[in-house]
Amino acid sequence: MAAIGKDITTAKGLLESGELVGIPTETVYGLAGNAFDPDAVAKIFAVKDRPSFDPLIIHTASLHQVSDFTTHIPDSLFLLAKKYWPGPLTLLLERKPNISDLVTSGLDTVAVRVPQHPLALSLLASLDFPLAAPSANPFGYISPTQADHVNAQLGDKIPYILDGGDCKVGLESTIVGMENGQVTVYRLGGLDIDAIESVVGRVVVKTHSSSNPKSPGMLKSHYAPKKPFVLGNLKELVNSCISEKKTFAVLSFKKHFAEIPETQQLDLSPTGDLDEAAKNLFAAMRALDSMDVSVILAELLPEEGLGRAINDRLRRAAADNKQGLHHSS
């Protein structure tokens, strides 16, 4: 398994030698490699078993450094960067030739962000190159929010994980670009739409693609547990599972079921706090996936604030279970 620690010098040395390192951010843990090194980038795809048509996100230490590998920042996106970087915001920008086709899946744009985590920022500031860093998990599976999550999934494939504690946001960054002169959201995430619209006005939301996505994180089926994951009315789903004698676990929001063992239900936020629910989402999904049950039941949250991004992840986790409980038997 990988070594886990807080030594930035160790992480820096490994990255400079072409190795991959698990790094913390405020959103989720990333699998990081030198974005200017095609071999390191290829290694990211291999370790994650990620399809080459799904582009990567570049992480850098400051807005000033973005000009090293992009041609320009449109005014609206610059305003967003000034307001929300460092933070859970990724911008799609026109790239310079020093960013390879492998990073961008052949697109003319590259996804860029400045993470809001002190260890990540210190590491990035110490390097002469930006880091390509998608989430540090096997492709399509639940994103990691703790160093131990990374080690459990990829620890036999990477040498080191920089431990920054639990991720404070717990959802991937919101991805924003320009399309036909309009600010466009390509992935809902840790920065909610209301915050973006408070700076640039109304935005267009385009969040799904079945193949060849325009930005990272757009694939329809993603962030999924290995067990069947079914979305719907929790009370009805629970009653159905009980009547059919299925073994199941429940992921809820502000709900408790007296008829279900405490150990088989997780509430994302008993007080109804959407920020708390976002922070707990992936760890809860991971815990339920490890239980000895045949199906995981879940419900959508209110479509407001971070609830929209949480629902996006829930829908994609359930995308392969459209037929519901009968499909999961």
Give dist(CA 92, CA 105) in Å, integer. 13
Give dist(CA 148, CA 155) in Å, integer. 9
- Nearest alpha carbon to residue 131 among 214, 216, 69, 48: 69
Per the annotation, binding residues for ATP are 50, 59, 109, 135, 143, 187, 223
Phi, psi of 86 (to 5 degrees): -65, 145
Q: Which amino acid is at 234?
A: L
Per the annotation, binding residues are 27, 50, 59, 109, 113, 133, 135, 143, 173, 187, 223
In which element (H, E) is residue 174 found? strand 174-179
Residues 6+ apart with CB under 8 A from 275: 305, 306
> What is the pairing mode between strands 109-113 and 229-231?
unpaired
Q: Which amino acid is at 102?
A: L
Tokens describing residue 225: 């547990």
Per the annotation, binding residues for L-threonine are 27, 113, 133, 173
Instruction: Give the count of beta carbons closer than 10 Å to the beta carbon of residue 82.
Output: 11
In which element (H, E) is residue 267 found? strand 265-267
Give dist(CA 301, CA 86) in Å, integer. 27
Collapsing DSSP states into helix, strand and coil, what is residue 96?
coil
Tokens describing residue 316: 């994609």
CB 111 within 8 A of CB 133: no
Q: Which amino acid is at 175?
A: I
